[in-house]
Amino acid sequence: MSWFTSAPWYGLVIGCLVGSAAQATEAPERTWQQEANYRISATLDDQKHLLTAEATIEYVNHSPQTLMFLWIEVWPNAYQGRTTPFASQQLALGRQEFWYARPEELGWMEALDFRVGEQPLKWEYEPRHPDLVKVNLATPLKPGERVVLQTPFRVVLPGDFSRMGHRDQAYQLTDWYPQVAAYDAQGWHQRSYLEQDNRYAEFGSADVTLTLPKNYVVAATGRLTSEEEWAWLLARSTQKLRTDRFPLEDESPVSAGATKTIRFVSDHTHGFAWVADKRFNVRHGEVTLPSGQKVDTWAMFTNRRAFAWENALDEAAQMLTTYSVGNGAYAYPSLAMVELPLRRSGTINYPGLVGIPAATREAAVTTALAHQVARQWYGGMIGLDGHTSPWLVDGLAAAAQDRYLAERHPNQTLNDLAPQPWGALSGLNAFPQARRHEIDYLAAARGGTEQTLQTNAAGYLPGNYQAFAEAKAALAFRYARQYLGNEKYDALMRQYTTAWQFRHPKPADVQALFEEQTGETWDWLFRDLLQTDKKLDYAVRRSSVSEKTATLYVENVGSIAGPITVSAVRGGKVVQTKWYPGFTGVQKIELANEGWEHLVIDPEHHMPEYNRQNNTIELVTDRRVEPIRVRLLPTLEDNRYTQLFITPVGGYNATDKVMLGAAFYNSILPRKPLRYLVMPMWSSGQRGLTGSFQVAGEVPSITTLGRIDAALRTDIYAGYIRTQPHVRLAFGDGLDLQQPQKELSLRLVNMRFGLQQLPAYQDGAPIPGQSWQRYNVLTTTYRIHQQNALERWELRGELQNKGADFALLSATAEWNFHYRRKSQVRLRGFAGGFLLARNLTNGFRLGMSGSTDYLGDQILLDRRGVTETVPAFLRQRIDDQGGFRGLTSAYSRKGLVALNGAVDVPYLPISVFGDVGYTPDGGGLLTGTGLSLRLLPEILTIDVPLAGSSYADRFPTGIDDVTKQIRFTLHLKQLTPSTMLRRALTL
């Protein structure tokens, strides 16, 4: 008899698998489920950061198939180098750290030797996935049979890159041992380790002994059985906090010379993890659940964050009690809550063990724990597949989290979660914490990056996992709970846990339960809201009032016919709320008239409404506009008001001199479908009005090719007025980071010089007195681009047309590559030629040292060449067309080709550049080379040509010759307050 079948809980699991007549809800039939049990003995060497271990794996085949091999996941190999799927995902997520890891920071698993008894087994790594091993069985494993494998293994622990590794002598061990992949009716589910993903593994038992220096505090999956360790932890838990014990966060006591061996036993588990840190403070508590079950609770945290963990045990007791009442009894004998030592880890969640990153505020700790403890049910006890259906795991957990926080901490706001002083300045104290998931969802959905909840965990764009798999799904289940009422919803959740505990249900199973228990069809939730990108959006259209009746006409302007709640408001307070069945088209809703002032669709945010600005109507006036609220600084969208934000702004250029004014705008986050920005400023130089004015938004879908955005913008600066309507079509959905993004844009630039005349240019310098005339340029641009943390490339084709005067066709290619952390190689190529050139003034020629900016796209310090006090303003470089850093007199009315390159010098803010170009009518072959000083990366660069066509004899004759050629590139758009606002408003 194996240790599994002799365990006291064996009968309980078998009962769960086949169903029990004694259960209040009969478990749905699930014919079979595999079983994997582990016995591991491991020793930690904290000088070499090495783990040496032996593993025994008992695998029971409950399937109807005969198995010839087992897939084993050896996830430490994900950290062995740049060729793993984990390394590729890190680049896609925009992270360079692992790609440039030092050899001593890498990690892997070695010394594997799979055997059955004394018989060695043949095994091999999957060629493209070094963290997957295929073990061929010596004899076929028939249905109902079991096999016991043994193997030694060593784990070289990686540095701080993801969920497993070490930071100095603090250790975080997740997925550290050979683990059999899940096998179900769909076959094997062998998967490589990815940071943005969730484990899916078989339930079973784990019996783990750990040997390590004696002064480590260890939190782990399962129940600690070592009595001496129990006593030591309890003694430590009574110590008062002493913040002077470890003065710095990363300082750690010297490891004890003696070691200890401790044992953890875990039942009903699908993974064993542990965290070890000599710095941990320990707190212990005990919770008695409503069922009478006692649960040991532990909190382990460092001194620097101690104040944020002060009430963690009290919160854990309340969470376990609340969730057990709502979801069914907690199944594990203990719960350890840990402040994770790895800074790039995110969270971890294993049966009986949760870990969260360091947090600076108590509310942030409570919020994170509320989600992770709720996840003990859905990811732990029920064992949902968090890879294929992450929305079910994290959506249910986040919905429970929101409810717990709203009931336990009703006055907590988003300001309590925000870092100071930003939270107080941004008005976040006006928003309850329950709005967090709504804001996350709407910010991403309105930003044009919505992904359906059918996306697997690894397939979400950066930030989208939280916005959709967690936030949108949480809103959907909150919607269901509010519609059903707490009592009915809790009964469903308890039945779900009872029926599917330790059994890996599928998404269809939860919908079947809802429909069976309510007698209703739930396609509007599980099909429309949770499987598509359809929107829930009801809008008030008009109202009428009689002596006895208030009538509201509501139109479903979305694409989901979910139930709707309407509230009557009097004296600014919700007095009456009623639910109505969902509908399409327009529906008349009647309420008894009791002197209502407003009727509002869902004022308490029970529904995941996409646009709440159409939800309120004033009964007396039939007005559908919310009262205006003016705010000095921007804040989040508040649907109770028509918001107007005002922010002081300023600027400077040589013509306008100092400019002061204000920006008036209506949207920051979530982005409104229609946005405006009015930014007038008073120019001390022109003694008149300058500024920018803009309106932007999304065009309703008229094509299946992609998304269309449009904007209209006017700029008044430096004696010119520029007006440009702009339309952009982004092809496809833009949701696959492995594929290039493609877009087509069309804009018409109208330039006028009604205030003062603008000069022409010669040899890169303005010539006062030669004016341009008013003109229009139509620009059509096709752009294809892609980037990750390592490289960015872009191809751009453009056609500019100025009526019968000229037509310019050009192509630009750019490639930036990080050859080491923070050091890049930059390459750029340009080719352009005139298809039509009539009456071509100097201002419209192609320039080897950049254009004359006749489209007004650049922010120039001295566009008109009027500077006397700071002549260096005239040396500002425009990095387009030929792109030479040195100043040349090469212009062309025919065509131009150029290649620009630059290489960053490691450890220094200096780049070596080289330029080469050719134009048939502007000097032939031209070259240039020199140094660039990157004072502010991507913002301010000083270019010093040292050789090339900028000099008469290709080399400077002295220092004066060099200083005359120094130029600078200044991307002021990255710094101006108006541009920071536009990032949320424009294309």
Give the confidence band of 983 by pLDDT, cuts at 50, 70, 90: very low
Give the confidence band of 16 by pLDDT, cuts at 50, 70, 90: very low
pLDDT value of position 815: 97
Q: Which helix (H) or strand (E) holds 979?
A: helix 977-982
State the Cα–Cα distance between residues 840 and 572, nearest whole angstrom.
Answer: 65
- The total domain count for the chain is 3
Domain range for residue 177?
A: 30-195
Q: Do residue 576 and residue 715 come from a single domain?
A: no
Average pLDDT over residues 199-219: 97
State the Cα–Cα distance between residues 61 and 35, nearest whole angstrom.
Answer: 7
| Percent of the chain topping pLDDT 90 | 70
Please check whether residue 145 lies inside any domain of the structure: yes
Last residue of a domain, one of 179, 195, 211: 195
Last residue of a domain, one of 610, 625, 640: 625
Q: Do residue 822 and residue 705 come from a single domain?
A: yes
112 CB-contact burial (10 Å; exposed 0-12 / middle 13-18 / buried 19+):
middle
Residue 518 pLDDT > 90: yes
Average pLDDT over residues 601-621: 92
Q: Do residue 841 and residue 702 come from a single domain?
A: yes
Q: Which residues have C-beta within 8 Å of that of residue 12, sequence separation ≥ 6? A: none
pLDDT value of position 558: 95
Q: Which residues have C-beta within 8 Å of that of residue 260, sequence separation ≥ 6? A: 211, 212, 213, 214, 226, 228, 229
Average pLDDT score, the chain: 89
- Look up residue 398 and give its two tokens: 């986040």
Q: Do residue 851 and residue 707 come from a single domain?
A: yes
Nearest to 525 by CA among 538, 512, 506, 541: 512
Please check whether residue 735 lies inside any domain of the structure: yes
pLDDT digits (tens, 9 = 90+) for 712-753: 999 998 888 999 999 999 988 777 777 899 999 999 999 987
The CATH number given to whatever domain includes residue 550 is 2.60.40.10
Q: Do residue 590 and residue 711 come from a single domain?
A: no
Q: Which residues have C-beta within 8 Å of that of residue 226, sequence separation ≥ 6? A: 260, 261, 262, 263
- Look up residue 767 and give its two tokens: 């010539």
Average pLDDT over residues 504-526: 96
Please check whether residue 172 lies inside any domain of the structure: yes
Residue 821 pLDDT > 90: no
Q: Do residue 607 and residue 754 come from a single domain?
A: no
Please check whether residue 422 lies inside any domain of the structure: no
pTM of the model: 0.90
pLDDT value of position 426: 73
- Quote the crossing angle between the two packed helices 312-327 and 390-408, to the nearest 10°: 120
pLDDT value of position 569: 92
The CATH number given to whatever domain includes residue 136 is 2.60.40
At residue 15, the 3 state secondary structure works out as: helix
Q: Do residue 702 and residue 621 come from a single domain?
A: no
Q: Do residue 613 and residue 703 come from a single domain?
A: no
State the Cα–Cα distance between residues 16 and 796, nearest whole angstrom.
Answer: 60
Q: Do residue 615 and residue 741 come from a single domain?
A: no
Q: Judge whether 677 and 985 are in contact, CB under 8 Å.
A: yes
At residue 10, φ and ψ (nearest 5 deg) are -55, -45
Q: Do residue 892 and residue 764 come from a single domain?
A: yes
Please check whether residue 503 lies inside any domain of the structure: no
- Look up residue 342 and give its two tokens: 């790895």
Please check whether residue 975 lies inside any domain of the structure: yes
Q: Judge whether 153 and 53 are in contact, CB under 8 Å.
A: yes
pLDDT digits (tens, 9 = 90+) for 312-337: 999 999 999 999 999 999 999 999 99
Average pLDDT over residues 388-411: 96
pLDDT digits (tens, 9 = 90+) for 35-54: 999 999 999 999 999 999 99
Last residue of a domain, one of 195, 224, 239: 195
pLDDT digits (tens, 9 = 90+) for 81-111: 999 999 999 998 889 999 999 999 999 999 9
Q: Judge whether 825 and 819 are in contact, CB under 8 Å.
A: yes
Residue 391 pLDDT > 70: yes
Q: Do residue 741 and residue 869 come from a single domain?
A: yes
Please check whether residue 674 lies inside any domain of the structure: no
Q: Judge whether 287 and 303 are in contact, CB under 8 Å.
A: no
Residue 764 pLDDT > 80: no
At residue 625, the 3 state secondary structure works out as: coil
Please check whether residue 359 lies inside any domain of the structure: no
